[in-house]
Structure 1
Amino acid sequence: MFQPGQLQDYKALNTALDHLLAGEDDIISHLANASSLLNYFLDNVNWVGFYTMKNGQLQLGPFQGLPACVTIPLGRGVCGTAVSEDKVMRVADVHTFPGHIACDANSKSEIVIPVHVDGEVFGVLDIDAPIADRFTAEDEAGLLEFVSVLEQHLKTAA
């Protein structure tokens, strides 16, 4: 079984994503399958999904987990901050993050990675975990590559 934090496993996961999305051209299908794939293979996570840009804020997209916040203003919470700063946010303890938005009280750590299409922020990949300090530098590197694979497919999707 896939072990989080082992980069060679992320390479296999990213190859699986590339094959899963190949030949398909629907954005929602891409995001739904990407969130499902991550939810299935990552241990110790309780929410995996996407928020996409719509009308100048983040709008809930395909996800796996409990119901979530529908809209997030830019600059608010981990997701909104990731977009406004256009950078990965890896938060070991969400309860210490100023302005954290608690959609699931069981979440203790989070990683958010901006997703780009044609040089613009399209949205974010958001992953929450029920344990503190869940996400490592290796997770971040593997998930950045995962997002890169996804971005290539989103460029050609309708």
Structure 2
Amino acid sequence: MASTAPDYALLARQLDALLDSDDWLVNTAQACAFIMQQVAELNWVGFYLQRQPELLTLGPFQGKSACNPIPFSKGVCGAAARSRQTQRVDDVHAIADHIACDAASNSELVVPVMREGTLWGVLDLDSPRHARFSEEDQAGIERLVAVFLERTTLPDLLAAP
């Protein structure tokens, strides 16, 4: 049974209003909480940040404890980081190198977060429902990432000590 996609244009306007700080940490936390509350059938929403080459480190999230770190060579998040392309997976258990942080997760959507042409991190959404994410959901979440990027100055995490 397919769920009705939320009104992503409205969510984009609401997220734009919510992100009233330029602070990347505040805005990542706010974006995760907002998406978790506004998008149905999710069990995890969070950012993984590129703080070291070819490695994603857990950032702000909503949901159960998460896997950390994630190498670019593994899982759906790693595939999004490697390819710099959104990954939409209907059945994560069919992915040979899927990283199972929560056995209840069955589908996943991962959107790369780019800073000046360089990968800064990824936004990862998990759902307990198989085939949860449609093309409309993908476009909507990509728009929310664009709003986040418009409202946030991202530091160069690779240069940080």
**Which aligned pairs between 1:73-88 and structure 2 lie closer than 5 A?**
73-88=71-86
RMSD between aligned residues: 1.5
**Which residue number corresponds to residue 39 of structure 2?**
42
How far apart, in 2, do the equivalents of 1:92 and 1:147 lie?
21
What residue ranges of structure 2 are gaps of 5+ in the alignment? 157-161
1:29 aligns with 2:26: yes
What residue ranges of structure 1 are gaps of 5+ in the alignment? none
**Which residue number corresponds to residue 55 of structure 1?**
52
1:120 aligns with 2:118: yes
**What is the CA deviation profile of residues 42-98 of structure 1, one whole-angstrom value per residue up to 9, with x for unaligned ones?**
111100110010111100000000000121001210001101011010000000012
Distance 1:11 1:25, change over 3 A: same
What number of residue pairs does the alignment pair up?
A: 153
TM-superposed deviation, 1:154: 2.4
How far apart, in 1, do the equivalents of 2:92 and 2:4 lie?
20
TM-score (norm 1): 0.92
TM-score (norm 2): 0.90
How far apart, in 2, do the equivalents of 1:4 and 1:88 lie?
21
SS, match of residue 49 in structure 1:
strand
TM-superposed deviation, 1:117: 1.3
SS, match of residue 134 in structure 1:
coil
How far apart, in 2, do the equivalents of 1:50 and 1:156 lie?
13
Contact 1:4 1:42 in 2 (8 A): no
TM-superposed deviation, 1:113: 0.3
How far apart, in 1, do the equivalents of 2:81 and 2:91 lie?
19
Contact 2:23 2:153 in 1 (8 A): no
| Overall identity of the aligned pairs, in % | 42
1:98 pairs, out of 74, 88, 96, with 96
**Which residue number corresponds to residue 159 of structure 2?**
none
